[in-house]
Amino acid sequence: MRRIRLFIILILCISIKSYGLNNLYIDNDTCSVNIQQNDTIIFSNDSVQIQLSITTGADSVRWVPSTGLSNDTIPNPIATVNNTTQYTVEVYYLIDSNLVYNGDFELGNTGFLTQYTNWTSGGFIFGNYSITDDANTVSGGFTPCNNGGKYMVLDGMETPNKYFFQSTVNVEPNTLYEFSVQSVFLAFTELDYSYYPRLKYYINNQQLGGIDTISNYNCDWHTFKYKWYSGTNSTATVKVVDDNTDGGGNDFAVDNILLKKFCKATDTINIIFAPQTIIDTIDITICENELPYSYYDSVFNQSGIYFYNFSTNNNVDSTYIIHLIVNESYIDTLHADIYYGNVYNKYGFNESATGVYIHTFQDVNGCDSILCLDLQVDRILFPNVITPNGDNINDVFEIHNLIEQNAFTDNELIIYNRNGKLIYSFKNIRKKEDFWSPAQTNSPTGTYFYRFIGKRYDKTIDTKGIIEVLK
């Protein structure tokens, strides 16, 4: 019987949606809100206006239901009520950490993909970009803007739908995020509309809003913001495109490409219209697995405010308010990855192998809850022989699991021949075609040497080895 129960829990861990355990158990990314009024009892037969208010600092607010509220999106609406009503406020706080690696370009020309060409010398021409702290050093025709550090300078490309910035990050499913970017037009003087850069922003190939036309001059940085809901996605590929293909004057800069998570918090207020004198209020808090809850001859099946009458010979002697709070028993799933040889030791786990693990605990409300860990252990493997004979089997120097597991997003592969001459170099491999192909470099049968550098949040490797090419 115990095995069957554990098996059912395992299925729940794999398939169930998150019910917000992060706000109750996990220390990071937590936030809270309080409606400053307590539950309110009104002794009246007429409509009453009540000023609601919450603790400040939220980035956005929503009250549910909106019935009777002067505005359901502000922190302090006026509620007009004439019967017992429960209002719930949902607020979102923007968490400060940016998920986009090097989105502020302070690390220079690294950590992102681009279809533009990195400018090194000569004329700055169509489709070029450069990372700098002063656009005027790239071209004398650009405004010498400063934005507190480095940023990306671009000359728009004449070929449509080419992205100048792309980065893939891990996100949490069913979570709200904010995408933002700063931009500025680099011309010294006002130009015709046709010269303005027209930026489009995508996450997982879904366009965010419309086209953002960059027309501001004199280093007046413009900030674009857009909310994005992750849904079932566990990764987000952020991509930015200039929709203007006019080669003359389409010069601009971008900085601080950000993707930040919103933290959600809720609180509830009950406004109670009491038709008779109330003796007292009884607060009762239970866990979900204690339902249904019996109070004398009454049975309650959910949280709420209830009237209970004590009677003698069918005559009411006294009336009490029963304030019942039912705390949920949570099941939540964490998705995590570590590199081979490391140990995942957060939130009560101590695991080093791929698998689904279960941890039971009492949450902050004292209710039995379950935390599941879906752990992937990444490990890349290097071949020592390749046979580039054109049969599409072992034709390239493919590092196994590098792409499949997204094991090292920041990586570099370097190949030398036996004389020490560099014959191949590639940064940030994302697809099979990025690996070294001896056929493409016209490399004959023989012995070659490789060096692979990989960086991730929990591991950095610098591996050297020998590869034999047999044809």
Nearest to 63 by CA among 269, 229, 228: 269
What local confidence, expressed as pLDDT, does residue 313 receive?
Answer: 66
What local confidence, expressed as pLDDT, does residue 450 receive?
Answer: 97
User: Taking the mean position of all CA atoms in its chain, how far away is CA 272?
Assistant: 39
What local confidence, expressed as pLDDT, does residue 315 receive?
Answer: 62
Residue listed under structure tokens 């507190």: 148
Three-state DSSP state, 8: helix
Three-state DSSP state, 181: strand
Average pLDDT of the segment spanning 382-406: 94
Cβ-based neighbours of 27, under 8 Å, separated by 6 or more? none
Higher pLDDT, 428 or 21: 428
What local confidence, expressed as pLDDT, does residue 377 receive?
Answer: 96
Distance CA 382, CA 454 (A): 13
What local confidence, expressed as pLDDT, does residue 215 receive?
Answer: 82
pLDDT reading at 25 higher than 90: no
Average pLDDT of the segment spanning 44-48: 73
pLDDT reading at 372 higher than 90: yes
What local confidence, expressed as pLDDT, does residue 21 receive?
Answer: 33
Q: Report yes or no: 388 and 438 within 8 Å, Cβ to Cβ.
A: yes
Tally Cβ neighbours within 10 Å of residue 106: 13
**Radius of gyration, alpha carbons of the chain:** 30
Q: Is 18 exposed, middle or buried (0-12, 13-18, 19+ CB in 10 A)?
A: middle
Q: How confident is the model at residue 379 (pLDDT cuts 50, 70, 90)?
A: very high
What local confidence, expressed as pLDDT, does residue 210 receive?
Answer: 86
Convert the pLDDT of each residue in 347-357 to its tens digit. Answer: 889 999 999 99
312: which 2 tokens?
């003698």
Please, what sign has the CA dihedral across residues 142, 147, 150, 153? negative
Distance CA 196, CA 106 (A): 26
What local confidence, expressed as pLDDT, does residue 141 receive?
Answer: 81
State how beta strands 48-51 and 78-81 pair: antiparallel
Cβ-based neighbours of 357, under 8 Å, separated by 6 or more? 349, 351, 372, 373, 375
User: Taking the mean position of all CA atoms in its chain, how far away is CA 192?
Assistant: 38
Q: How confident is the model at residue 190 (pLDDT cuts 50, 70, 90)?
A: low
Average pLDDT of the segment spanning 350-365: 88
Q: Report yes or no: 331 and 16 within 8 Å, Cβ to Cβ.
A: yes
Q: How confident is the model at residue 362 (pLDDT cuts 50, 70, 90)?
A: confident
What local confidence, expressed as pLDDT, does residue 47 receive?
Answer: 80
Domains and their CATH numbers in the chain: 2-23+330-378 (no CATH), 117-263 (2.60.120.260), 385-469 (2.60.40)
Q: Is 105 exposed, middle or buried (0-12, 13-18, 19+ CB in 10 A)?
A: buried
pLDDT reading at 248 higher than 70: no
pLDDT reading at 445 higher than 90: yes
Three-state DSSP state, 9: helix
pLDDT reading at 34 higher than 60: yes
What local confidence, expressed as pLDDT, does residue 178 receive?
Answer: 94
What local confidence, expressed as pLDDT, does residue 262 receive?
Answer: 92
Averaged pLDDT score across all residues of the chain: 86
Three-state DSSP state, 150: coil
Helix %, strand %, coil % of the chain (to 5): 5, 45, 50
What local confidence, expressed as pLDDT, does residue 417 receive?
Answer: 96
Mean pLDDT check: name the lowest of 131-135, 165-169, 362-366, 409-413. Answer: 362-366
Distance CA 258, CA 99 (A): 7
- The backbone region for 209, taken as left when phi is positive above 0, alpha when psi lies in -120 to 50, beta otherwise, is left
Average pLDDT of the segment spanning 72-96: 90
Distance CA 311, CA 296 (A): 12
Mean pLDDT check: name the lowest of 14-28, 61-75, 174-188, 450-464. Answer: 14-28
Average pLDDT of the segment spanning 439-444: 94
What local confidence, expressed as pLDDT, does residue 17 receive?
Answer: 36
Distance CA 46, CA 86 (A): 18
Residues in the chain, total: 471
Distance CA 231, CA 253 (A): 31
Percent of the chain with pLDDT over 70: 89
Integer angstrom CA distances of residue 342 from 267, 345, 354? 40, 9, 12
What local confidence, expressed as pLDDT, does residue 16 receive?
Answer: 38
Q: How confident is the model at residue 277 (pLDDT cuts 50, 70, 90)?
A: low
